[in-house]
Amino acid sequence: MWEGGFEPFGADYANAESAGVFLRFPGQWVDGLMTEGGFYNVHRWYQAGTGRYGRVDPLGLVDAALYGGGNFEGQVTQLFGFAEMNPITFFDPLGQYTLGPTANPASANLDKFLKCLEKCIGHSFQVNSTSDGQHAGPDHSAGEAADIQPKSTGVPSKKVFCCAAQCHAGRCLDERFKPGGKFSRGPHYHVEISTPNRAKRNDCEPCKVLGPGGRCR
Amino acid sequence: MTSLVRKIMVLWVIGMSLVILDCSNLRGADARAPCDVRLPCSLKEALVARYIGYRLVTLNDLVADQRSFWRLDFPNGCPGIAEIDLDGNGWVDIGLNLLLPSRQRDQNIFVLALRMGAQWELVQVTEDRGGPVAVLWADKSVRYESHEGESLIFPNGAFVLAGYGSWSRAYGFVDSELRFVQLTD
């Protein structure tokens, strides 16, 4: 029987591959025939030794600039980083948006929507919750809604909701600044891909002003 | 008196002292850490019998952002326990936010301990459905507005259960019925 383990950023210290253990972090796998010297993660290859990807985040420099805090070195390293550089707490199944530590993976339709949303916004975000947690609406339990938290407070809600509409969201709610801040700590947006008779409040905005390539500004 | 009898008496006194210390009331816990509370004996016995292995949620169960949010609002509070006379019967009730640690995924439930004199009625209000680890506090507001814009009045205040960055609920009594308002979803 193979006995071994992995370091916090995924390095294998007990020859797992030869024992037939190919899975790595969520969304990653290793295969000697199909490799760039790292673990395959759909969009990018991950190198456990450095805790970084071999290619930049496909969402581009914008996200890295937000994280780097104006420090160019920080921007570059974050472009290649994995799961907020904190793999013990966060997951990064596809090399793009991150799942919160206790969030269920998104359903196929929701995942497609979230990728579209992230691409349109141009900033990555954390998904705090999908079908898990004490939600009231049927959308969460059906796996058709997510609570997302942009990684920068500088992302205007108008842009998020414009993008959500462009990605065919059914409904959006801004749950950042609800009166009585204690109730809504952890600023976030609720987005969902269906509207089963619950469109009473909907912050999704049709895109009126389009930037280059037809994107929301 | 033989030394054996003397030893037995000493052990008995120590044992009784521990029982008394372990089962005082919540208000005696001011000088200790926020989650180092001593529940009333009868409540503790009922909890231990029904929720084997569970413990109160503490600050250590929250991730860094969540701990910051909690400390901002409740510098001396414990996210696992809160007190308020929820049903208005003159006895302070206790809300318990419990966690069953597990290798796979911790189980997080909310239990309401309603007091009537020396008796406690335990009501498990939520079942575990994953998501952010919940925090719990007592809130003395009367009017609560749901995320859909509807309002509900809890004359005696409410227990608020929240998963930071996602959902929050207020639980209270309307007449003699326990109800909740989904504050964020």
Q: Is the pLDDT of residue A70 over 50?
A: no
Ramachandran angles phi, psi of B103, nearest 5°: -65, -35
Q: Does one domain contain both A67 and A121?
A: no
Question: What pTM does this model have?
Answer: 0.70
Q: Do A183 and B130 touch (CB under 8 A)?
A: no
- Chain A touched by B63 (CB under 8 Å): yes
Contact B130 A100 (CB under 8 A): no
Would you call A133 and B131 a contact, using CB atoms and an 8 Å cutoff?
A: yes
CA nearest to A146 within chain B: B166
How far is A103 from chain B, CA to nearest CA, in Å? 5
Same structural domain, A59 and A13: yes
Q: Is B109 within 8 Å of B126 (Cβ atoms)?
A: yes
Supply φ then ψ for residue A7, to 5 degrees: -75, 170
Give the end of a domain, one of A89, A120, A153: A89
Q: Which of the two residues, B35 and A176, has the higher pLDDT score?
A: B35
pLDDT of residue A155: 78
Q: Quick check: is A16 in a domain?
A: yes
A120 plus A203 within the same structural domain: yes
Classify residue A151: in a domain, yes or no: yes
Residue A214 lies in a domain: no
Residue A171 forms contact with B (CB below 8 Å)? no
- Residue A201 sits in a domain of what CATH number? 3.30.1380.10
pLDDT tens figures, A73-112: 333 445 555 555 555 555 554 557 889 888 999 999 999 9
Which residue, among A183, A188, A198, would best test binding to B if mutated, counting the most B CBs under 10 Å from its CB?
Answer: A183
Where a domain ends, among A89, A122, A139?
A89
A76 and A160: one domain?
Answer: no
B121 to chain A nearest CA, in Å? 23
Q: Which residue of A has its CA nearest to B74?
A: A182
Name the residue with higher pLDDT: A41 or A142: A142
Which of A61, A89, A117 terminates a domain? The answer is: A89
Quick one: A70 and A110 in the same domain? no
Whether chain A has a CB inside 8 Å of the CB on B183: the answer is yes
The answer to whether residues A11 and A70 belong to one domain is yes
Whether the per-residue pLDDT at B118 is higher than 80: the answer is yes
Size of interface A-B (CB pairs under 8 A): 106
Instruction: Using an 8 Å CB-CB cutoff, list chain A residues near B72.
Output: 185
CA distance A84 to chain B (A): 13
Is the CB of residue A102 less than 8 Å away from at least one CB of chain B? yes
Q: Which residue in chain A has the smallest CA separation from B133?
A: A102
Range of the domain at A61: 1-89
Distance of alpha carbon B185 from alpha carbon B181, whole angstroms = 10
Looking at the fold, whether A29 and A118 belong to one and the same domain comes out as: no
Overall average pLDDT of the A189-204 stretch: 77
Pairing of strands B81-84, A125-129: unpaired
The whole-number pLDDT of residue A157 equals: 83
Q: Which residue of B has its CA nearest to A191?
A: B185
A157 and A54 belong to one structural domain: no
| Model ipTM over 0.90 | no
Residue B148's closest chain A neighbor by CA?
Answer: A201
| Distance, CA of A32 to chain centre | 28
Which residues, other chains included, contact A117 with Cβ-Cβ below 8 Å and sequence gap of 6+?
A: A148, A160, A163, A164, A167, A169, A191
Give the Cβ contact number of residue B129 at 10 Å.
17
Token pair 């010297």 is at which residue?
Answer: A37
Q: How many CB atoms lie within 10 A of CB A3?
A: 6
A80 and A162 belong to one structural domain: no
Number of domains in chain A: 2
Query: Cβ–Cβ of A180/B141 closer than 8 Å?
Result: yes
Contact yes or no for B184 and A101 at CB 8 A = no
**Nearest alpha carbon to residue A100 among A113, A112, A114, A117:** A114
Higher pLDDT, B143 or B102: B143
Decide if A216 is inside a domain: no
Q: Considering only the beta carbons, identify the residue of A101, A183, A198 that sits closest to B184.
A: A183
Chain B residues with CB-CB distance to A179 below 8 A: 145
Chain A contact set for B149 (CB, 8 A):
200-201
In a domain, A194, yes or no: yes
* Same domain assignment for residues A78 and A158: no
Residue A5 has which token pair?
């383990």
- What percent of chain A shows pLDDT beyond 70? 46
Residues A26 and A116 in one domain: no
Nearest-Cα residue of chain A relative to residue B127:
A134
Euclidean distance between the first and the last CA atom of chain B, given in angstroms as a whole number: 69
- Is A139 in the same domain as A155? yes
CB A96 within 8 A of CB A115: yes
Tell the residue number behind the tokens 């020859």, with chain if given.
Answer: A15
Would you say residue A217 lies in a domain? no
Q: What is the tens place of the pLDDT at every residue in A170-180?
A: 889 888 766 55
In a domain, residue A196? The reply is: yes
Q: Nearest CA to B112 among B130, B91, B132, B131? A: B91
Cβ atoms of B80 and B98 closer than 8 Å: yes
In a domain, A201, yes or no: yes
